[in-house]
């Protein structure tokens, strides 16, 4: 928490005040805010590139590769970093990460975004390698700080996060190896999307379903607790990892198609015991269900496209990224981002509007990848981009105060609300069983 300057005291240097700012007291604060703002800005820049309003210089990184990378790594990795910096200490019952850890990692993330833009506009031979180094340093630094805590626990209950983090580092290295070598880097972006889906399954089983049960009880809808049984969760992760690896290795399209359909079925199996009926329509419930529905739909669209359906695989990829990743990240930001700022969950309508906008963006972007878009493809792209950007600007606008300001419950770190009167349903723990 920021400390007020004593009356009459000389003001502290700017750097000291920035270092003591509440924004750096928890890892999720700068990364969640940065992810939301970058999601809107990067999408706007991509649409300007797409319409040639923003010209690019020839270089090792094309505009489409930059767009795909920034949606998965710029936006997605910021959310992952903020989540892990907050969740790992709680998962492992270890001290919170220090301000210098947050500052270093956020500095690497921000510098990578800025230098990446410079590399698109001028001297790409100089700036793109520097951008690559910064992105790799971010993932490596996060792994260096997180893996010892995750892997030293008895029985290693959270090793899935550790393995996914190592895989992210390898995939990011592969992307830059391909881009700087003049090869097609998109297969590595697609592999990154698969790893993000694995992380969503891991996080959803630890946060979203516990929140869902608490919310249902709080609303008087008493139903049996649900968490996907470990065998189903492992099957879904295995199928997602299998189709991701097969695509990266260049397996033939028909085989990929059946593997993707298997992944879709495995994701749907995670939902086979979920609540239905009156609970499904609640504003906190349907967005959590939509995360898995978009994931299952994404793999189904990919599978059918590889088997000859009349749409491009882009339809499935955008259902995964805009839909499952977008809704999943928004849910985590709204849950962990408030609870660990000492606040109860935000039940205002803007959050429902933001979730609905992401769903609309999915529909528009999927339609743009099908023959039925006809001459309206560009209009569908713009509609999807606008809905996506407005959703994240809504989050940034409503979350700005609690992400950048001091806690109001008397806490000074990342602990849950200290107000004993807050309903327990609104303060679910991040730790798994």
Of 143-147, 233-237, 323-327, 414-418, minimum mean pLDDT range: 414-418
276 vs 145 pLDDT, higher one: 145
Mean pLDDT, range 51-63, rounded to an integer: 75
Mean pLDDT, range 350-362, rounded to an integer: 96
CA 291 to chain centroid, in Å, comes to 12
How far CA 361 is from CA of 84, 321, 374, 379, in Å, comes to 27, 11, 18, 12
The predicted structure's pLDDT at residue 394: 97
The predicted structure's pLDDT at residue 291: 94
The predicted structure's pLDDT at residue 230: 77
Q: Where are the domains of the chain?
A: 23-410
301 vs 128 pLDDT, higher one: 301
Mean pLDDT, range 354-370, rounded to an integer: 96
23-410 folds as Cytochrome C Oxidase; Chain A (1.20.210)
User: Of the segments 1-15, 202-216, 354-368, 399-413, which one has the largest average pLDDT value?
Assistant: 354-368
Kindly report the three-state secondary structure assignment for every residue of the chain.
Answer: CCCCCCCCCCCCCHHHHHHCCHHHCCCHHHHHHHHHHHHHHHHHHHHHHHCCCCCCCCCCCCHHHHHHHHHHHHHHHHHHHHHHHHHHHHHHCCCCCCHHHHHHHHHHHHHHHHHHHHHHHCCHHHHHHHHHHHHHHHHHHHHHHHHHHHHCCCCCCCHHHHHHHHHHHHHHHHHHHHHHCCCCCHHHHHHHHHHHHHHHHHHHHHHHHHHHHHHHHHCCCCCCCCCCCHHHHHHHHHHHHHHHHHHHCCCCHHHHHHHHHHHHHHHHHCCCCCCCHHHHHCCCCHHHHHHHHHHHHHHHHHHHHHCCCCCCCHHHHHHHHHHHHHHHHHHHHHHHHHHCCCCCCCCCHHHHHHHHHHHHHHHHHHHHCCHHHHHHHHHHHHHHHHHHHHHHHHHHHHHHHHHHCCCCCCCCCCCCCCCCCCCHHHCCCCCCC
Mean pLDDT, range 39-52, rounded to an integer: 91
CB 362 within 8 Å of CB 323: yes
Mean pLDDT, range 387-406, rounded to an integer: 95
The predicted structure's pLDDT at residue 15: 65
End-to-end CA distance of the chain, in Å? 31
pTM: 0.89
Of 98-102, 288-292, 414-418, minimum mean pLDDT range: 414-418
Q: Is the pLDDT of residue 386 over 70?
A: yes
Average predicted confidence (pLDDT) for the chain: 86
């Amino acid at each position: 928490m920021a400390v007020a300057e004593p009356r009459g005291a000389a003001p502290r240097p700017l750097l000291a005040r920035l270092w003591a700012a509440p924004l750096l007291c928890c890892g999720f604060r700068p990364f969640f805010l940065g992810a939301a703002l970058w999601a809107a800005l990067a999408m706007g820049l991509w649409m300007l590139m797409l319409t040639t309003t923003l010209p690019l210089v020839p270089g090792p990184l094309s505009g489409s590769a930059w767009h795909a990378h920034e949606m998965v790594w710029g936006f997605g990795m910021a959310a992952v970093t903020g989540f892990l910096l907050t969740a790992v200490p709680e998962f492992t019952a270890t001290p919170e990460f220090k301000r210098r850890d947050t500052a270093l990692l956020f500095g690497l993330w921000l510098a990578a975004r800025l230098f990446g833009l410079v590399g698109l506009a001028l001297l790409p031979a100089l700036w793109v390698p520097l951008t690559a180094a910064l992105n790799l340093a971010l993932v490596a630094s996060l792994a260096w700080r997180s893996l010892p805590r995750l892997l030293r626990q008895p029985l290693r209950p959270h090793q899935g996060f550790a393995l996914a983090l190592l895989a992210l580092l390898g995939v990011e290295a592969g992307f830059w190896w391909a881009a700087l070598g003049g090869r097609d880097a998109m297969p590595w972006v697609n592999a990154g999307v698969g790893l993000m889906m694995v992380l969503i399954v891991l996080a959803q089983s630890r946060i979203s379903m516990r929140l869902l049960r608490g919310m249902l009880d709080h609303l008087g809808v008493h139903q049996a607790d649900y968490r996907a049984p470990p065998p189903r969760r492992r099957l879904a992760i295995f199928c997602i990892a299998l189709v991701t690896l097969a695509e990266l290795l260049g397996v033939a399209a028909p085989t990929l198609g059946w593997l993707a359909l298997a992944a879709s079925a495995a994701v749907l199996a995670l939902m086979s015991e979920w609540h239905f009926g009156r609970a499904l329509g609640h504003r906190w419930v349907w967005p959590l269900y939509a995360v898995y529905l978009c994931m299952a739909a994404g793999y189904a669209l990919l599978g059918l496209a590889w088997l000859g359906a009349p749409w491009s695989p882009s339809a499935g990829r955008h259902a995964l990224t805009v839909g499952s990743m977008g809704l999943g990240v928004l849910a985590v930001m709204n849950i962990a981002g408030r609870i660990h700022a000492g606040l109860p969950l935000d039940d205002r309508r803007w959050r429902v509007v933001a979730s609905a906008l992401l769903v609309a963006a999915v529909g528009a972007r999927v339609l743009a990848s099908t023959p039925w878009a006809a001459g309206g493809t560009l209009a569908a792209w713009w509609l999807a981009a606008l809905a996506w950007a407005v959703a994240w600007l809504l989050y940034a606008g409503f979350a700005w105060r609690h992400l950048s300001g001091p806690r109001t419950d008397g806490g000074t770190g990342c602990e849950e609300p200290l107000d004993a009167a807050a309903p327990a349903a609104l303060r679910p723990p991040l730790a798994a069983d």
